[in-house]
Structure 1
């Protein structure tokens, strides 16, 4: 007998799906914010930090890039209590996803930082900019332009990776879907709806990344030429 699709029981639980979607967006945004901060700090330590900082950064990156996110999640949620540290499911999820993203984004940031010619940095210093201004305007923004596609792709993977948090019952979309499936027994319909929601969120995020890219890189920087020609400063620095 052919299987008859029936989405009515699943769609009747729309409020739970909306709540799960909001929880996923909150979880991913918090993890992305923390993870990018960790990643940039780790990259700066490895590129322009003391030797001990480079060692610590490299060890962290290799440890988290060579173990599955699910294992990291279990270690934090089930392992830390043995050390007297107890985290809620959502706290462990944010912690694990942030550290995982930090390790991957650190390598992306490092690739961008290493792509900036030293002559361009020297030109910024010669123009009288402080090291902080050079790092902000001469290094980070041009580096971000180079790595932006790779970085936003990793952020999209992070958004989708929040589904793993359902393994420890952290509140997010996949957990909401699993509860609906167990109560309606409409497995195919439930996960088709979840897939549609994830696809929609992914395309919305990609559109937002595109808008952010237009705003962030609105000043055109020549790709060739001397260091002085390549160095294009924002108006507040020029003045």
Structure 2
């Protein structure tokens, strides 16, 4: 930052050289963010499907437990959740590495939101279709898989992918427990170079690129997996 003269405003001199000199550090962090997000998406989707099935078809005790899980997660900050997992669980004898704790926190968090999204999709399926599948001799699992799940996912796919993108952006919070993601790499680089503005401009653009990339992948998946006539 330099002065343009006494009593005049300051003019900031951008210097991205230190940032790009250590750009490989940011790329390593971005790669971990991608891996962490993809793993959390996959595991969180499994949790969401199981919980949505339990909430719509399970016994009352299972529904109570799932509802309690959803309400607790959706009404508490993600930062508190990740602190509870990383700092609280060791007191119970379960000690996790920062990356493992980050993954668990993201899966638990996404599972609660994903359950409600998928539950809405399941409840949009007409009961007549389920009854027709049962009449054809399909088991409950086959009815859920072929008649309920795929049309339900097709219905809620845009909301689900938006939640996936939000999950990827939320992963930046895991840097508070020293997980080696993009945000943590940026914080380390900022501490070493003191080029705060430049570092966070680059990180912002990298997160934007990741969001656009994931959106393009999800759009391609939608075209391949869900573009089929409703009558099939």
TM-score tier by shorter-chain length is over 0.9
Query: Which residue matches 1:160?
Result: 169
User: Is residue 183 from structure 1 mapped to residue 183 from structure 2 by the alignment?
Assistant: no
Query: Which residue matches 1:81?
Result: 90
User: Is residue 58 from structure 1 mapped to residue 62 from structure 2 by the alignment?
Assistant: no
Say which of 130, 143, 150 aligns to 1:141. 150
Question: What TM-score do the two structures reach when normalised by structure 1?
Answer: 0.91
Query: Which residue matches 1:42?
Result: 51
TM-superposed deviation, 1:113: 0.6
Give SS of 1:171's match: coil
Deviations 1:150-188 (A, max 9, x none): 000000000001100000000100000000001111001
Give SS of 1:80's match: helix
Summarize the alignment of residues 211-226 of structure 1 with structure 2, pairs less than 5 Å apart: 211-222=220-231
TM-superposed deviation, 1:9: 0.7
User: Is residue 129 from structure 1 mapped to residue 138 from structure 2 by the alignment?
Assistant: yes
Q: In 1, distance between residues paired with 2:203 and 2:111?
A: 27
Give SS of 1:219's match: coil
Query: Which residue matches 1:16?
Result: 25
Query: What residue ranges of structure 1 are gaps of 5+ in the alignment?
Result: 223-231, 233-239
TM-superposed deviation, 1:29: 1.1
Q: In 1, distance between residues paired with 2:218 and 2:177?
A: 30
Give SS of 2:229's match: coil
Question: What TM-score do the two structures reach when normalised by structure 2?
Answer: 0.94
How many residue pairs align between the two structures?
223
Give SS of 2:63's match: helix
Q: In 2, distance between residues paired with 1:185 and 1:56?
A: 48
TM-superposed deviation, 1:14: 1.2
